[in-house]
Structure 1
């Protein structure tokens, strides 16, 4: 028997009309709002490449060439930095190099962020207090930029995250024992897969996507790191998380109070001054932490169009009575003065219009500027 329904003149009869449903979200692929801050040494003559890289990366690290490698040999390095609105995602490729963030740089630097690194290729060795963390593809390395370290790496390609310490404050912060550790396992693989997915879609992220992406990254980092670190930490390190959560909440709630001091924190937490200093060691010290939070609060006030107070009044509101001292501290923290805040907040916006470059497009001027303003968003 021949099935006539398959013949050329067959017309399928349907009880209901067919309505094609177009896939949702496809049109949003053209509405990405991010543009990276790109840097490459590839356009320079080989003898100038390493010096250019040293200058570019200096806010983060001091770097030096391996033995028997010379600047004349060239140093082809690339980096793209994407601001997710308070967290940086960094695509990085460079030859073998030695690196360090020594105590003097830590002391003078306002950066106490976490640096989280996934290697696509190569290996690295980082030493803190005699303990070396070896990173390779398939693992994740975490280090604090608020603590000294030194190391070396082979030629590597990587994707990394830089996040301010306070991004995790709702959870009491990442444990202090997270510094200079390398982690693996299924949680790390889930995190790495999500980071790779975000990396592949950076140019397509919309305004609505950004906060969700940042929040998901924050949660996944915390969920991947904390159980592994706590499992190998002593009871004191676990209790530090609860103390830090209470300390950060107290500081945030009393940020404008002249009575916000180390002594007040000791009384609130019922701990000694020595214990308090140990608690804030990875944040650059309790006084530096309070000062930084006050300056961030002042930055938010100055950026608020509805706040009509003068610069000196806002300085006084955060406990700095001298306008000169406030301006000096503010400029040291952010790299620009309080009176120039509007221009620089536009230049350092976390969301950048796709296809625009230079000051007219609001692109951050430097890598250092992006690092300094992370805690604002």
Structure 2
């Protein structure tokens, strides 16, 4: 029986910390294996190869789980019996910052190193040995991966090292730092941005590119690039064509049903601005929201917002606060 409980610290906006540092060495691995969800441990049979220690920050964005982890060396295995007893219909994406791993995923031999991105289908078997390492783990539900144009089964064992993989790592590290300043209502948008950056990292990388769904995958990449650049005044057709390496004609075809590229960009900016205004816990000035999401100024945001939603940004915020207060009274 464990004598002490592992340290669990709720940071902000869904970010949690799990650490075994305060536990006796003999209790640490068991504490990690049996920690409360969300946890990565139950998916694998693990054997430590040195005195065990782990620190992990865990972040939920909608139904996407991100785990920032520092962990000591151990063996990992996921076999048929474990798949049956502890199933998870998900794609695991591991981005290595420090350390390395070597093993077999299905019938594919893989070795990872700092800067690499590696993927595994939790419905399939794997085994590997990892050194002491620092990683970022994404656990992506299969339905979410499929909705962004990814074939989870085809990605099992894919490992790549590219500039776009490094870009995804940098983005995720910045996201962890920014979490305390981000409104809860931004979770869905942030999750979509992460998945689209993953799609971008996989595009054109041999076997991984076969797991992307043609025009649909390209459309998802375009939407991801737009969401990533919403705050930039220079977000336009020319920039998107350069980012995606496509012609203007191809880009226009992707957004025909959306009313055009510029219309889609404007709509997305208004959607995220409205989500921020409807977060009753946020007091961000409207002029700052306008600047953050690429509007020229508060008046520009207000004019487009009224045209789209039939009310001003101030009216939207006031209504959200009124509803929040009403719910609070009902709960008392």
- Alignment TM-score, normalising by the size of structure 1: 0.49
> 1:44 aligns to what SS in structure 2?
coil
Shift of 1:124: 0.9
Correspondence 1:117 to 2:94: yes
Q: CA RMSD in A?
A: 2.6
Q: 5+ unaligned residues in a row in structure 2: which ranges?
A: 1-10, 218-332
Is the CA contact 1:38–1:80 (under 8 Å) kept in the aligned structure 2?
yes
Residue from 37, 45, 51 that aligns with 2:24: 45
Larger radius of gyration: 1
CA distance in 2, matches of 1:65, 1:177: 30
What is the correspondence of 1:1-377 to structure 2 with a 5 Å cutoff? 34-56=13-35, 58-66=41-49, 69=50, 74-174=51-151, 176-230=153-207, 241=213
In the alignment, what sits opposite 1:292? Answer: none
Shift of 1:192: 2.2
Q: Which has the higher contact order (CA 8 A, sep 6+)?
A: 1
Is the CA contact 2:155–2:208 (under 8 Å) kept in the aligned structure 1?
no
CA distance in 2, matches of 1:48, 1:84: 31
CA distance in 2, matches of 1:129, 1:163: 19
Task: Answer with 83-92 or 174-183: which moved more.
Answer: 174-183
Is the CA contact 1:81–1:90 (under 8 Å) kept in the aligned structure 2?
yes
> How far does the alpha carbon of each residue in 1:224-271 deviate from its partner, in whole angstroms, 9 at most, with x for none?
2143144775xxx77xx58xx9xxxxxxxxxxxxxxxxxxxxxxxxxx
> How far does the alpha carbon of each residue in 1:12-31 deviate from its partner, in whole angstroms, 9 at most, with x for none?
xxxxxxxxxxxxxxxxxxxx
Shift of 1:118: 1.4
Shift of 1:191: 1.9
CA distance in 2, matches of 1:174, 1:50: 34
Compared CA separation, residues 161 and 102, structure 1 to 2 (3 A)? same
> 1:219 aligns to what SS in structure 2?
helix
CA distance in 1, matches of 2:17, 2:208: 39
Compared CA separation, residues 230 and 130, structure 1 to 2 (3 A)? closer
Is the CA contact 1:115–1:144 (under 8 Å) kept in the aligned structure 2?
yes
Higher strand share: 2
Q: How many residue pairs were aligned?
A: 202
Is the CA contact 1:79–1:92 (under 8 Å) kept in the aligned structure 2?
yes
> 1:152 aligns to what SS in structure 2?
strand
Compared CA separation, residues 205 and 75, structure 1 to 2 (3 A)? same
Is the CA contact 2:102–2:130 (under 8 Å) kept in the aligned structure 1?
yes
Is the CA contact 1:99–1:151 (under 8 Å) kept in the aligned structure 2?
yes
Q: 5+ unaligned residues in a row in structure 1: which ranges?
A: 1-31, 246-377
Compared CA separation, residues 231 and 82, structure 1 to 2 (3 A)? closer
Compared CA separation, residues 85 and 227, structure 1 to 2 (3 A)? same
Shift of 1:64: 0.4
> 2:70 aligns to what SS in structure 1?
strand
Is the CA contact 2:202–2:209 (under 8 Å) kept in the aligned structure 1?
no
CA distance in 2, matches of 1:42, 1:49: 8
